[in-house]
Structure 1
Amino acid sequence: MSTVFETKLTSLPLLHKGKVRENFAVGDDKMLIVASDRLSAFDVILDQPIPEKGMVLTQMAQFWFDILTDVVPNHLTGIDPATLVSPEEAKQIRGRSMVVKRLKPLPIEAVVRGYLIGSGWKDYCATGAVCGIKLPAGMQMAAKLETPIFTPATKAAVGEHDENIDFDTMAATIGKELAEQVRDVSIQLYTKASDYAARQGIIIADTKFEFGLDENGTLTLMDEVLTADSSRFWPADQYQVGISPPSYDKQFVRDYLESVPGWNKKAPAPSLPAEIIEKTASKYRQAYEVLTGRVWMG
């Protein structure tokens, strides 16, 4: 299996290295995004890669961009990444890269929740609300919400934690009109994706979107979308209210790390056993196959 912990290219200048991706400049208005096999959990980058993870994420994101293109424009250009680098570098980035428009990113994570889980569940237990949105009393873990809710978060730098914020704080940051557009588009995206996934036997419990503005100020979907790194995917036939359902995403790794005595969720993270690495890689591949209906070919 192909494993890339860090992408290093000489054909293009490095723009930015994120938790799991490297971005390279393509002229002044485009960039090459390469997804590595690094894994981030609790905003800590683990030392061990998950084989083919970056390939799965990239190809799943491209699948969703195609499905959701009628809801909002996205940043894809359709340019073949292999035409921009040397033949040897093309092998390194095969299946894990996209050439995209360079946008002005919005400084927020657009989170949509359809179920009460994760930090939303913790917030509800403490306050009876999620990001300031009051919910009915007596709800259980993993309960389906009456309607999806939009719960934005700050976009953290590498090594820092995203923080949930309320809608008014987001509106004060990017402007009320744009905030309302982001909220409405995010819920439309989640609803369409959830309806599709349900037909494949998958529940999308929650997800996060990222947006930017193009040169005309048009809201544009960017980065990754509806991958196992940015979403919670649950098998519908194993869903049960009151427990944290099994998942196709990196919750499997989070659960393992939380079981390690004494770890304070700061770097360095505990080492993952080979069994956990393989099971995690398998879950990413399973999510791709179940959602797309395609056999994973690498």
Structure 2
Amino acid sequence: MTASSQPTASAALDLPGWRHAYSGKVRDLYVPDGAPDLAAAERVLVVASDRVSAFDHVLEPGIPGKGELLTTLSLWWFDRLTGVPNHLLPEHTLSGSLIPAAVAGRAMLCKTLDMYPVECVVRGYLTGSGWKEYQASQTVCGIPLPAGLHDGDRLPEPIYTPAWKAPLGAHDENISFERTVELVGADAAAELRALSLEIFGRASAIAEDAGLILADTKFEFGADRETGLTRLADEVLTSDSSRYWDAAAWRSGRTPAERMASFDKQIVRDWLAAHWDQSGEPPLLPAEIVEQTASRYRELLERLTGA
């Protein structure tokens, strides 16, 4: 069996009262029976799978328990981001019976929103693709930065670097703020930027209290179809959408690898980069890589929530 750039057909489950409507790289969306599609549905069941993706491919095998870990952490963060409207329906917490038993623990009952086609990325530290660009041009996503920074350094202040959400199987594309204005309008673009930076600041302080650094993250937002209110949606501040580092290791580490061992799927990316040239289908993940990744996901949840 090989990995694929598309989710497998087995992603769709037979859930009483719900019908499968869409599958992304990690999440599956279900609409109530009777709703013709997502556009017409008033509510949606967002189910996090155990699938793991890297380099725009869904890999096999998945990470056991990943879907529940991601959902648990998203709900924990939604609960702490008071004052930030989100996509959860009140029924999500009032009645667990609305979520089918087959996906209990890894599903969220949500309002259907008109999603903005923008990945709202905030970077507080210089690393990853940003570090590569900085070495070449002293910029990150076209934003000029001071000279003399190193891989893993904290930026003078967090920067907002949006990306266009590409269709499944295609690469997301970094875009300028001006391009965001063209896509969603000036008022919405300014609101998305302000909300993203505000949430990043609040979350960074909470992570710091747990001995963690929130290096970067991405948010997704949608407009409430009834009121037009912008709501935080999808996952939030999880291991899949964010880069977390151990604060003590970052301060004392002598090499980038020591300073920036992250609580996410970087283990998968590193192994894949060393064993695959990104042509054809990616190889199966070894059991030890799967377990190491699952362990890092669990550790982050424990560090942040104490659970």
- Indicate whether the TM-score tops 0.5: yes
Match for residue 246 of structure 2? 235
Deviating 4+ runs (over 2 angstroms): 78-85
Tell me which amino acid in the other structure corresponds to 1:285. Answer: R
Q: Distance in 2 between matches of 1:188 and 1:275?
A: 38
In the alignment, is the contact (CA less than 8 A) between 2:217 and 2:237 conserved in 1? yes
Tell me which amino acid in the other structure corresponds to 2:66. Answer: K
Q: Distance in 2 between matches of 1:227 and 1:187?
A: 17
Counterpart of 2:14 (choices 5, 9, 17) is 9
Give the 5 Å matches for 1:1-298: 6-11=11-16, 12-26=18-32, 28-70=41-83, 72-80=84-92, 83-84=97-98, 90-215=100-225, 216-239=227-250, 240=253, 243-244=256-257, 245-260=260-275, 262-264=276-278, 268-294=281-307
Tell me how large the CA RMSD over aligned residues is: 1.6
5+ residue gaps, structure 2: 1-9, 36-40
Tell me which amino acid in the other structure corresponds to 1:51. Answer: P
Query: How far off is 1:251 after superposition?
Result: 0.9
- State the identity as a percent: 46
SS at match of 1:161: coil
SS at match of 1:259: helix
Tell me which amino acid in the other structure corresponds to 1:283. Answer: R
Which range moves more in the overlay, 235-244 or 197-206? 235-244
Q: Distance in 2 between matches of 1:23 and 1:110?
A: 21
Query: How far off is 1:79 after superposition?
Result: 2.2
Aligned length: 283
Q: Distance in 2 between matches of 1:93 and 1:267?
A: 33
- TM-score, normalised relative to structure 1: 0.91
Q: Distance in 2 between matches of 1:131 and 1:140?
A: 17
Q: Distance in 2 between matches of 1:267 and 1:98?
A: 35
5+ residue gaps, structure 1: none
CA deviation digits over 1:236-273, x for unaligned, max 9? Answer: 1111486141111111111111111x421x56222111
- TM-score, normalised relative to structure 2: 0.88
Q: Distance in 1 between matches of 2:125 and 2:212?
A: 13
